[in-house]
Structure 1
């Protein structure tokens, strides 16, 4: 039996370029990369050297702070290059793929016949553990911890986000197997949040408590769902995992190999043919973005992820470890005189009524990267509270994160939030502050001081 959750606060940003529900195979990438920067608070320790051959699923590096957490190659081939930045920090591990597709064999297993500890060890050994993240702090889960619950959000509300039900089509067996395994990692409940209007196999998954969610963005954020279902208190741990990664874990148990296949939505107003591509984790972006027909690439902002939380990339960069969406929108290097006046030029989307967007609720807009203003003093306007569907005082929490006040951060709910929960504040706040970056810094302070 499902439970309904209705979110009222928030804001849906309807943009042009939504991916059509058409699936194509992306052209094969010759180079793949695993980026330690995708794993916050992980310090990589290399296992393989440049020039060595690797198999698909072979360990490339592990976490300095927990040698149980391993990171594996998405393909077989040769480790071509270790790209380093300042202070020899590892930025990318690039692998040149071959045509052999030789994979490390772990042997297929039935999770219903295994204990929770056996399942944990199997996932750790295979390199699938980084798919499991924890709240608080929004980092890879510590395998030593015992989570009070596990959450899977199969409801996407971010602008241009991939349709999860479409992406999981024909993956019912792998998803159910993944759920069977994951549910044994906690003595508490495993929660699955789905679209209230959806009609897919997700309604009938076993070993989970199903929640039918409705409402504007960020209703699909797992942090918002945790807040309304089973809030986090000091000292507690909750693990979260993306639906696409549940499938990868399920395939691990079914086949005994690490399968990094990923279906992504290539979307945005700068894409001529926005649609879905089947590719692999770490594939080079140029393999699918040019096939989709990016228009005027020199004047386009390419984003690994959605337009609110993704990272700016170039075509020769690589698909992120957790990404299921790739966005491309016009670069905001043009300025409109008296742009705040709604009747001058093309109308723009805005939460405020200085724009006429509120009159056209179903219209899709072509957004660019213009801030339409500059950073200014942080003043009380009530804008943040309108898009924060949690019992959190966002402005006060942001201020205490900037001040590094640990006690007040705890009292204001720092354990319940992640940077993505403040993405709409980045968009809606007229102060133009980088709220996500501030919250990330606050969480890092908590990791260092509280643990």
Structure 2
């Protein structure tokens, strides 16, 4: 009998600009590629290259000071042109000018199915592939020295305009299975894979779990909470199935190739569909003239509208884990008379303030405005109506704000990540930055407990 989880709480936000299942033209080649340690929560960098050094794709650029075997590797071959630093010599990024033809460092990955755990782990660490692994509790870069109780993978992307994994995995099923085989070597527990209804029916050696329902049904936190919740002093590792495709290709070829197919989405996108990119490049170089329709008053987001990162001077390059680019109106050129007081059919409202709720299949164009000021948290149950985990979100958030460790532990802090509260943040009438609160709480708790 298949494992099926049906989620009723949540929110399906139907936005304009879904990615059509077509392959778009390849992006332009970047003049340089860079890695930023800030993309990896908990990574303390020690740079091991300097300007003028030559590297191959797969050569280490930096390692974790506290875990030296954990490395970040170059996505291209070429010359290191800069090590960018900020205040107090903080490492911001390492920049590499690419060769015309990429040269790959070769790793011996033959016979993964017969390898011992230590060999598989060593390969992932040396190649930089382990940087895709995250752990709970604390939702940070996984510690390879702590063996996980279980490993959880999500292949069910339910966020607004999210890419369809069933399209991305076409023709690459063997690479996905190879990566899953490697995961089974890393834990004595189980490997759980959350999938959409009727998808990936041929998986072997893992626990396949169908998760049905509105977003956040596809988040790995929901999968964990409904299959094998985390207790204190337990550790689990989490990954996205799109990252497994990169890992599987590495295990198949022995080459560190970070290229991946992403979805180009959003109501303001000049074109929508799927495009193969090499992360590390600047957005404005790789996709010059292909993002927004207007070129102004637009918000470009790496990721989805709930959890994505705004593309600006501080985040100008694609991260290695990119899956989606979303372009929506900024909203800074909009001036409305009477605002919410007017009856409307084109505006979205979770609380049915507008008559548009009578058209459940309608697609909306939402801009980046918050539309309100920050107020006190109201105990109205609005979070609970979209939070499908066995946790009381309002009470957990209040304990995080007060930093009451005992209360945080009792209310499930070890199970959650900021993304689990993304829908709560969207529907919150108090306009409180819930994801930021959870992130700060997890970081402070990690410092306190370690």
Report TM bin, short chain.
Answer: over 0.9
Count of residue correspondences: 447
Q: Secondary structure at the match of 2:68?
A: strand
User: 1:23 matched to which residue of 2?
Assistant: 23
* Equivalent residues of 2:30, 2:286 under 8 A apart: no
**Offset at 1:37?**
1.1
Q: Is the 8 A contact 1:110 1:253 kept in 2?
A: no
**Aligned residue for 1:338?**
338
1:358 to 2:331 alignment: no
Residues 17-55 of structure 1: CA deviation (Å, up to 9, x unaligned): 111111132222222121111101211100111222111
Q: Distance in 2 between matches of 1:372 and 1:305?
A: 22
- Residue 132 (str. 1) matches residue 133 (str. 2): yes
Deviations 1:374-408 (A, max 9, x none): 11111112111111101111111111111111111
> Could you tell me how far 1:239 is from its partner in structure 2?
0.7
1:417, CA displacement in angstroms?
0.4
Judge conservation of contact 1:339–1:372 (CA < 8 Å) in 2.
Answer: no
Asked if structure 2 preserves the Cα contact closer than 8 Å seen for 1:55 and 1:102, the reply is yes
Equivalent residues of 1:274, 1:292 under 8 A apart: no
Rounded to whole Å, the distance in 2 between the matches of 1:297 and 1:94 is 27
Structure 2 unmatched ranges of 5 or more? none
Tell me whether 1:60 sits opposite 2:58 in the alignment: no
Please give the alpha-carbon distance, in whole angstroms, between the structure 2 residues aligned to 1:102 and 1:183: 31
Matched, 1:394 2:393: yes
Aligned pair in 2 of structure 1 residues 342, 222: CA closer, same or farther (>3 Å)? farther
In structure 1, stretches of 5+ residues that fail to align are none
How has the CA–CA distance of structure 1 residues 402 and 258 changed in structure 2, closer, same or farther, with 3 Å as cutoff? Answer: same
Report the CA distance between 1:181 and its aligned residue.
0.6
Quote the offset at 1:293 in angstroms.
Answer: 4.6
CA distance in structure 2 between the aligned counterparts of 1:163 and 1:342, rounded to whole angstroms: 37
User: Where do 1:212-231 residues align within 5 Å?
Assistant: 212-231=210-229
CA RMSD in angstroms comes to 1.5
Name the SS of the counterpart of 2:154 in structure 1. Answer: strand
Mapped partners of 1:342, 1:74: distance in 2: 52
Aligned equivalents of 1:169, 1:261: Cα separation in 2: 16
1:232 is displaced (CA, Å) by 0.4
Note the C-alpha offset of 1:90. 1.6
- Paired with 2:368 and 2:426, the residues of 1 have a C-alpha distance of 11
Q: Judging changes above 3 Å, is the alpha-carbon distance between structure 1 residues 279 and 131 closer, same or farther for their aligned structure 2 residues?
A: same
Worse-superposed segment, 280-289 or 97-106: 280-289
Matches within 5 A, 1:229-308: 229-290=227-288, 292-308=290-306
Runs of 4+ displaced beyond 6 Å: none
What residue in structure 2 maps to residue 43 of structure 1?
A: 44
Distance apart, 1:166 and its partner CA: 0.9
| Conservation of the 8 A alpha-carbon contact between 2:40 and 2:140 | yes
Paired with 2:261 and 2:426, the residues of 1 have a C-alpha distance of 27
TM-score normalised by L of structure 1: 0.96
